[in-house]
Chains A and B, each alone.
Chain A
């Protein structure tokens, strides 16, 4: 697969302060890569290196095979970027702002701008000054998407958006992927990444700690299962404790909770000997995955 973004041992330090360290990562054409990490992990540092806003201490960042630093102007034509703290001059209307930014790219069809604004419910004629944080973020999304760039680099794109608009935004990301655009999207909100990403990279204290598909990440992690039983036959914990793939069995009255790795078949068969009134299995969301990475290091997640 063709790598659209190629980071090689990318390192950035700010004096004594860590930015990112030895980060190697590839983002392939046409995929959505979710770039996850807590605040201060180095997500924005990575992105600002990609955009040549800051320069690496060592290592290289290449985009479309070009040097992020030396070829920044031609690269920027092909990239749509939304900064983590998107800021625009406030004494102008959204339309003026977007027209100017479009002109820096040699002009952008106004119809496209209007279509995006419509879908995000952004009033183009409002002065930026009068817009709420969420509405300003919409201006940022429009300017990143309006020229239909080959690569979208979005730093915390949905911050400040209300839930309905967040859905619209996720639709826009899905459409971008369908149209063959590549998306590199940072977030500390797991659900939005989970909803659209093909792969997830997790960064912690400036280092890449995990990189896999969302499906893989999930497969490596236990389901949480809760089974409620009829009052006539309370479950016997001993029946469940020794089953293959079943751990952390806890019985609380008529309720049983456990973690299941791999097939739940053995569990179901034992449970079938009782009268089951309710069964609930929850997949871990990335939040939990992420916290298990973050709190106890890399090895933990693969441990059942």
Chain B
């Protein structure tokens, strides 16, 4: 566990990572487990506009229900904050408390440090998505979710991981560019929440194209719980992440540590 920056990051963050994984998995299986209690009338009190925004329009099918609160709001916002918190701490947080300097005075390049921290963030996101996936498989029968196949759950879980990784990369990147910890955290969280709103409300404002600039669109817009893997959408998230990381590496290599 003390071998390199990657394993050390995971080891140092083991407690909080465990917390995120447990929270994400519980959220998914508890809300998923409510499905048998849901009736089409359950959301009648929700105004129609909001129903569309939050995917509450189709509560009768398992996939429709899961795409509403559980995978439409709770899990993605949770993993957004996992990415923000982990990414912000990885560079900005450690720089602020002086720890980056310690490692970078050793034979570790800035690129290696950044990529290993990013890899640890990815490993955490993948672990979280994997447990959510396994959790959903575990309750699939008891919660009457059989109409959603394992492959479709896998598709949604993959999107969960990529969403967390994308926002993690953004937080990491703003830190790599020199942002302070508080700014990185607040900034990335704000961008995350705004892009969530954009995905939710843009169609109602008659501006569907706006939806397409939100990462959340590529997370759930293709309805992976109904349609399985949306490779194009996943690729958009992956490529956006790669671009952010590329810029981060460049910037991090060309600046002073504070």
Do chains A and B interact in one complex? Answer: yes
Residues of A within 8 A of B (CB): 48, 51-55, 72-74, 76-77, 79, 81, 83, 85-89, 91-92, 96, 99-101, 103-106
Extra A-B contacts (18), CB below 8 Å, given A85-B98, A88-B99: A51-B104, A51-B105, A53-B105, A53-B256, A54-B256, A54-B257, A72-B109, A73-B109, A76-B105, A76-B107, A77-B107, A83-B101, A87-B97, A87-B102, A99-B2, A101-B102, A103-B4, A106-B107
CA distance A99 to B102 in the complex (A): 14
* Contact residues in B for A103 (Cβ distance below 8 Å): 2-4
- Which B residues, 65 to 119, have Cβ-Cβ distances below 8 Å to chain A? 97-99, 101-109
From A48, A55, A74, contact of B107 by CB (8 A): A74
Is B44 interfacial (CB 8 A cutoff)? no
Are A104 and B103 neighbours in the complex by a CB distance under 8 Å?
Answer: yes
Q: How many residues of B contact A (CB 8 A)?
A: 22
Minimum distance in angstroms from B102 CB to a CB of chain A: 6
* Contact residues in B for A53 (Cβ distance below 8 Å): 101, 104-105, 256-257
CA distance A1 to B12 in the complex (A): 45
- Which B residues, 104 to 153, have Cβ-Cβ distances below 8 Å to chain A? 104-109
Do A83 and B102 form a contact, CB below 8 Å, given A73-B108, A77-B107, A100-B2?
Answer: yes
| CB nearest neighbor in B for A82 | B105
| CB nearest neighbor in B for A52 | B104
CA distance A100 to B10 in the complex (A): 13
CA distance A81 to B106 in the complex (A): 8
A-B contact pairs, 15 of them (CB 8 A): A53-B105, A53-B256, A54-B256, A55-B256, A73-B107, A74-B107, A76-B106, A77-B107, A85-B98, A88-B102, A89-B12, A89-B99, A103-B4, A104-B5, A104-B106
User: How many contacts A-B (CB < 8 Å)?
Assistant: 62
* Contact residues in B for A85 (Cβ distance below 8 Å): 98
Which of B12, B106, B108 is the most central at the interface, judged by chain A CB atoms within 10 Å of its CB? B106
Is B8 interfacial (CB 8 A cutoff)? yes
CA distance A92 to B99 in the complex (A): 14
- Which B residues, 1 to 25, have Cβ-Cβ distances below 8 Å to chain A? 2-5, 8, 12
Minimum distance in angstroms from A36 CB to a CB of chain B: 22
* Contact residues in A for B105 (Cβ distance below 8 Å): 51, 53, 76, 79, 81, 83
